Amino acid sequence: AEPKPAQVEVTRGGTAVAEKLVAPGDVAVIALPWVEALKNDPTSIMDYHSGIFPTAAYHLRSSVPVTVYQFNPLEFAIDPAPADCLIQSGGVCKSSTNDASLLLPKSALAGEYYVLSYPSHLGNYGATSVFPKTGWHALPGFASVVATEDGTTVEVTAGGKVRAGQGVPALEPGQTASFSLNAGDVLSLLSEAPTPAEASCTGNVCTGGELFDLTGTRINANKPVSVIAGHDCTMVPYDKNACDHLEESMLPVQSLGKEVIAAPPIPLLAAAGSGFAAEAYYLRVLSAADDNLVFVSSDVDQQLTLGAGQWVEVGPLQGHARVIAQNKILVAQYLVGQEASAVGALAGDPSQTTLVPIEQYRKEYAFYVPQTFRQSFLDVLSVGYPVAQLDGVPIPKDDFKIAVTYANGQEEPRVAARLPVEPGLHRLTGDLPVGLNVYGYGDYTSYAYPGGLELAPIVITPR
């Protein structure tokens, strides 16, 4: 059949916000206003709150299936700088904090999720355009739950301390609370702010550690919900500048698999002579089942047993990694701050991306690379060597490097190609299912997102 254009409509609370007609194989950018109720005021220093926010979510409908990515914001630079710009350089406004997420269609949503986030961050800064007040500033991790239907009951079991707010009680790790939402409502959970005495500090920067980290939080709803988690702005590691926004869609438990592959990020300016060196990164590995034996193969091999909701952080790593378990796992990759990077000043900052299970790899992707970032890259991941093409041009087999070496030689090799990519719309195809990660760097910022996945329910029979 002849491909049809997508008639796309965005609404909020039943009110039309935007409409676009998108031709087959094309991309459209829809700029949406900030939802003020969901923003934290940087002038308030320590005063932020969790809460339930009615009709705070946008609802996108399309006449045909589409892939949707959320960029927060889309570009890291605006030229010329508007009058209200907080950070300017050479007449250009710099966001200095970005990330991106793959948004999941309603048909792939479910009721059970686990959260990957990062601990509350504390900094004692002098007055700046971003933080106009001096003193300790707390920046929280978050988990945002969006209801897709009226009459949704959401049960939350906290993985770390939750800050109280409108309709949300303060929660200690392991405590459970229930919330009632209607379609379009947002339950915003923010990690509690530690005092400097409760935190681990290096100079004027501190981390709340696991006690103030929402990672491991369990979401259980009676109707399909969307869950996006991350951090307002954090350092990775906590004592290496600078902080950056983290966000990513959490995969429902029904779509999780038991194996992921990670490729080391290429440093900024790598194409200018670093020989595609490996940038440092971290992994967070969370088990979605009890008594789950997990193997991490990378710079240093690890074997551990995790219960449901338990997790481990691995890193810093600079080699490829394979994480395989006996049952379902959720894994995120974190880019590091510029002080921890191979290049140094201006070389990006942290971002968070969900690593797609190999069971959910696809044979075709259409994806978008933002325009103003200094450099963007792709990871193309596969079990076995694929015959893959980027925009109709074959990717040489030699570009695929073995991610993990197996002593017995009995398994198909896990391979990864790391490639620079230009801004704009792109198409990736393979004769085998492949995974796709997209990421890029700007001044003091970065973004990363998975290019897509199948999202089929996966049933794993325990051994």
pLDDT value at position 447?
85
Q: Which of 235, 199, 192 is nearest to 214 (CA)?
A: 192
Tokens of 227: 């869950």
Place of tokens 């940087």: 42
What pLDDT, on a 0 to 100 scale, did the predictor assign at position 93? 66
User: Is residue 460 scored above 60 in pLDDT?
Assistant: yes
What percent of the chain clears pLDDT 70, i.e. is strictly above it? 86
For residue 54, what pLDDT band results from cuts at 50, 70 and 90?
very high
pLDDT tens figures, 76-130: 666 677 777 667 667 776 655 656 788 899 999 999 999 999 999 888 876 565 5
- Whole-angstrom CA distances from 302 to 237, 315, 318, 319, 323 are 20, 11, 15, 14, 10
Rounded Cα distance, 247 and 234, in Å: 11
Average pLDDT over residues 188-214: 93
Band of residue 60 on the pLDDT scale cut at 50, 70, 90: very high
Q: What is the arithmetic mean of pLDDT over 169-173?
A: 98
User: What is the pLDDT, as a whole number, of residue 44?
Assistant: 58
Q: Indicate the average pLDDT of the chain.
A: 87
How far is 187 from 342, CA to CA, in rounded Å?
38
CA angle 76, 82, 88 (to 5 degrees): 55
pLDDT above 70 (res 410): no
pLDDT one-digit tens code per residue, 243-301: 777 889 999 999 999 999 999 988 766 544 444 567 889 999 999 999 999 999 988 89
Amino acid at position 191, single letter: S
| Tokens representing residue 121 in the block | 């961050």
Q: Could you tell me the sign of the dihedral formed by the alpha carbons of 8, 10, 16, 17, in that order?
A: negative
Tens of pLDDT, residue by residue over 371-382, are: 877 889 999 999
The reported pLDDT for the residue numbered 77 is 67
Q: Band the pLDDT of 131: cuts 50, 70, 90.
A: low
Chain centroid to CA 234:
13
Closest CA to 22 of 366, 365, 362: 366
